[in-house]
């Protein structure tokens, strides 16, 4: 028997560790450190469980319409999915089938490479410059599509809207996907360009700034034609991707703008304080516009710090990849968590 000869063999994406330890500090997966909006919590308390016997709305109409109203778009310009990962995976299937290589940076969200390999999509990874900046001229060349995050992950650097628009405008024959998982923390978004460019797809998530990582809500905005193609792929794969409870919670979260602005404001404030404190401890890092910092120490290797932090119950992320293996990605937590992190590092570095 040689049934394994017919198995699709891939190297899967490695998600951040999800430990469950008493009194741990979890700063490794860029989750929101604060609880969801009270409106979301009310939906959870009052949800009628008997509704779960029914299939959800295939188009998640309530959430789709709420998103369209929030961003000043038409309903036909919005697509929702189970986390931005599903939205992006379906987008790879829908838009990157022309045979030419898809372009994404060499240092970026590692799921892009996994999807390209899984779907047999040729790809090329132009190198970021020495400061981890995207070189726009690398994306003004023949290609089968483009995808990049803004802010970038794991560096946290933000490219200007002018750079993003130049890439979109310079590729009228390709779909350009801007992955804005962290855009709420920098205030720069290509969402306003959607009506001007038929080939632009902007993808965002409720996992970071809206504290709903556990519910898995992602969405995309684009031209009606792009969204139709995306829906064609979705309905060829799974009609009922988002459940009833998630749709209701997502809509409630989107309606609580005061909670959203306060929460993002607190995270940004803590991020800026962490920058100053880590710099005083000998760390350097790109100027992050996300809810994490990408740091390296002047004398202590990242792998050593990663292990020491883990033993102390402080979880951060280390990437064993070329060019970035001496960096740690540290999510922005609460002020208390930031204080505990810096206090540990201060004590550890004094002994090193």
Which of 162, 164, 196, 166 lies closest to 180, judged by CA? 164
Predicted pLDDT at 5: 87
Q: What is the model's pLDDT at position 81?
A: 96
Dump pLDDT digits (tens) for 128-161: 999 999 999 999 999 999 999 999 999 999 999 9
pTM confidence score:
0.96
* Long-range contacts at 3-9 (CB < 8 A, ≥ 24 apart): 8/118
* 124 contacts 81 by C-beta, under 8 angstroms: no
> What does the mean pLDDT of the chain come to?
96
| Number of neighbours of residue 78 by Cβ within 10 angstroms | 25
Q: How confident is the model at residue 205 (pLDDT cuts 50, 70, 90)?
A: very high
What confidence tens digit (pLDDT) does each residue in 43-52 have? 999 999 999 9
Whether residue 288 contacts residue 72, with contact meaning beta carbons closer than 8 Å, is answered with no
d(CA 238, CA 246): 16
Could you write out the DSSP letters of every residue in 28-85?
Answer: SS---SSPPPHHHHHHHHH--GGGGGSPPPTT-HHHHHHHHHHHT--GGGEEEESHHH
pLDDT tens digit string along 3-32?
888 888 888 888 888 888 888 999 999 999
| Tokens of residue 336, six digits | 């208390």
pLDDT tens-digit readout, 50-88: 999 999 999 999 999 999 999 999 999 999 999 999 999
Confidence of residue 208 (pLDDT cuts 50, 70, 90): very high
């Amino acid at each position: 028997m040689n049934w394994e000869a017919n198995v699709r063999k891939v190297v899967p994406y490695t998600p951040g560790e999800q430990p469950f330890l008493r009194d741990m500090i979890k700063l490794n997966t860029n989750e929101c450190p604060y609880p969801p909006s009270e409106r979301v919590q009310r939906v959870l308390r009052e949800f009628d469980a008997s509704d779960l016997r029914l299939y959800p709305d295939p188009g998640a109409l309530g959430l789709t319409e709420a998103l369209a109203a929030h961003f000043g778009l038409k309903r036909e310009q919005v697509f929702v999915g189970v986390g931005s990962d599903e939205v992006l995976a379906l987008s790879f299937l829908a838009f990157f089938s022309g045979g030419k290589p898809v372009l994404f940076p060499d240092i970026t969200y590692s799921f892009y490479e996994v999807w390209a390999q899984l779907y047999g999509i040729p790809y090329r990874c132009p190198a970021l410059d020495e400061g981890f900046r995207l070189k726009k001229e690398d994306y003004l060349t023949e290609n089968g599509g483009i995808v990049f995050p803004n802010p970038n992950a794991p560096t946290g650097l933000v490219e200007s809207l002018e750079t993003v628009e130049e890439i979109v405008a310079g590729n009228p024959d390709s779909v350009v996907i801007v992955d804005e998982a962290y855009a709420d923390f920098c205030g720069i978004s290509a969402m306003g360009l959607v009506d001007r460019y038929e080939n632009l797809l902007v993808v965002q998530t409720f996992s970071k700034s809206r504290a709903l990582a556990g519910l898995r809500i992602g969405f995309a905005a684009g031209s009606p034609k792009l969204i139709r193609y995306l829906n064609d792929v979705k309905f060829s794969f799974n009609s009922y991707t988002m459940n009833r409870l998630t749709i209701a919670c997502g809509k409630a979260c989107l309606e609580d703008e005061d909670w959203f602005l306060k929460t993002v404001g607190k995270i940004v404030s803590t991020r800026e304080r962490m920058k100053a404190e880590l710099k005083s401890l000998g760390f350097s890092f790109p100027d992050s516009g996300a809810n994490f910092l990408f740091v390296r120490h002047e004398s202590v290797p990242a792998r050593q710090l990663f292990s020491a932090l883990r033993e102390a119950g402080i979880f951060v992320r280390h990437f064993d990849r070329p060019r970035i293996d001496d960096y740690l990605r540290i999510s922005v937590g609460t002020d208390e968590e930031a204080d505990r992190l810096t206090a540990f590092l201060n004590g550890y570095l004094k002994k090193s």
